[in-house]
Amino acid sequence: MIPETLPVPSAAQRVATPRRFLMCPPDHFEVAYSINPWMDPEAPVDASLAARQWESLRDAYLDLGHQVDTIKPIEGLPDMVFAANGGTVIGGQALGARFRHPERQQEAAAYLRWFRQNGFAGAALSRQVHEGEGDIVFAGGTVLAGYGFRTDEAAAAEVTSAFGLPVISLRLTDPRFYHLDTALAVLDDTTAAFYPAAFDAAGRAALASRFPELIEASEADAAVLGLNAVSDGRHVLLPVQAAGLTAKLAAAGFEPVPVDMSELRKAGGGPKCCTLELRS
């Protein structure tokens, strides 16, 4: 929660900075298997709708002045659309992901190849199981590392070695929020939104120590992946269904940009899952 003794910044005080993102078109998107609680192979998926929702997200980034690169999707890798899981890029250095589930493991080579061919010559594949920005979240001078479902706790040491930044490990406790980016969104260097029940007591304490401003999302907003959001420091792109969180962000001086990612949510993804930030 934002302490009552601190003034709440206005929208004019929140500063947007241009970002460079990597996205993967959902040309082969489907729910063909189940590796998280959101996925039901028996439920119908509208691939055309998923494509339109993805395009709307990309267009929203472009309208805000951000750069969007794309990686070519590969047939047979339906979750490749979730670019955030392909790796972590900080300071021009890329650490490629190592996926836990066999269904996604071939994505690692595709993303690593893209990194090496697009200005990240020193890109390396992780030795530990970690699923990129799904669980490795940049927070200014520190990195937050989620673990418990899809990333090993031991990945934190490798992240520290790769980027030279201190890492705060956070254990995830609710299988619905299997990646850190489904339970927490870093909004700027001093502000984050999170769903407290997705973390253990130590994790909640660590977040309270790291962020002077913490915005709590309700279970209803977390359950529509409202925290799977992307912030440029002022604008926050988040699922349109997360109405309560949208209001809280606006009250905290951010400019919410609601987008509908409901079809991609059938595989457990939202705006952040579809977006890997390329930090130079």
CA separation (Å) from 107 to 112, 114, 158, 194?
9, 11, 20, 28
The 10 Å Cβ neighbour count of residue 125 is 15
Q: Which residue has the tokens 């031991």?
A: 154
The dihedral of CA 175, 176, 179, 185: what is its sign? negative
Taking the C-alpha atoms of residue 239 and residue 52, their distance in angstroms, rounded to an integer, is 14
SS3 88: strand
Q: Find the Cα–Cα–Cα–Cα dihedral 226, 227, 232, 234, rounded to 10°.
A: 70
CA 146 to chain centre: 11
Dist. CA 31–CA 41, nearest whole Å:
5
List the catalytic residues: 179, 273
Distances (CA, A) of 10 to 137, 185, 228, 251, 254: 25, 19, 23, 8, 8
Q: In terms of DSSP H, where are the helices of the chain?
A: 47-63, 106-117, 155-163, 201-210, 219-222, 243-251
* Helix, strand, coil tally for the chain in percent (to 5): 30, 25, 45
